[in-house]
Structure 1
Amino acid sequence: MFPSIHALVIMGVAGCGKSSVGQTLCRLNGATPIEGDAFHPPENIRKMSAGIPLTDEDRSGWLGILSDELRHVVAAGRLPVLACSALKRSYRERLRKAVPGLGFVYLELTPSVAARRVAERPDHFMPASMIDSQFATLEAPHGEPLTLVLDASCQDVPQLAAAADEWWRRHRPN
């Protein structure tokens, strides 16, 4: 018997595909998407757009908003899928405290692939120059509970979504 996952976070550095994988999982499961970037305050967007890395303090209010959003969706009886970098263990623990039964799918990526993908993205506030700071902040969730690690460097969105979906279905409440 697997522990139940009532909500899911698709996480990783910029360019790993978390939004695309999250959207695909939502379509497959009738889940509710939560795009973490949409909840950043304007000051965070300004800083990232200017190539200034966010601090723990910058992320604190944002993580509180995401925690509230996850709780709201779960309380409404829906399955949320949050696309969120969740780079540090302390960030993930904060989200876990907000929503028991929270699972994580970590889309692991090499710095070179991340930089290439971010440079190729049109219309996104995060410049490729921010990749190094994301990897410097990253505390990979290897060995954390209710966490699936997938290699996003060599798998495409359909493959990643299929693997995440299979894993989540084994862990979802009936």
Structure 2
Amino acid sequence: MSDAKPPSIGELFSRNKRDLLKYLTRRFGPEDASDLLQETFLRLLRRDQGEAVADHPAFLQQIAVNLARDFSRRRKFEATCLEFGDPPEDAPTPDAPPGARLEEEEAMRALREAVAALPPRCREAFVLYVGQRLTTVEIAARLGVSRNMAQKHVRLALQRCRAALDP
């Protein structure tokens, strides 16, 4: 058994953030990558401190790979959950003029892009709010965040969706 002192989280972050961020950015883009990088180090902090880690960079890489896998699964799941129900009564019908149908299609595309561009936790809160009709208290409990943070996530998502739909 070695008497070497394990590196601090700050040292690990300084040494490994660049490689992990590159990996996550290639997979998900810069906005999601920074959130996933933060989650990688949070998981390292939350792990059982009694566990000995022989190779910290490899351990961090494995956490990032697992997070990437989970994130991809969640995105696929969210894509199937984000159904906006029946079209509103004033939605263009198939026999509507092409201009009206085109406007509706562009609005839906803009909305989908706005939701896809949200940070992961914000998107997750929005899906729970819109898709499952949970309250912000229920969302906070599900995500393990404060009620205030859940409200901020939902508010941001709604603002970005409204902005995407405004001409």
Q: Same fold (TM over 0.5)?
A: no
Question: TM-score category by the smaller chain?
Answer: under 0.3
Which structure has the larger Rg?
2
Q: Which has the higher contact order (CA 8 A, sep 6+)?
A: 1
TM-score when scaled to structure 1? 0.25
TM-score when scaled to structure 2? 0.26
- The structure with more strand, counted as a fraction of residues: 1
- The structure with more helix, counted as a fraction of residues: 2
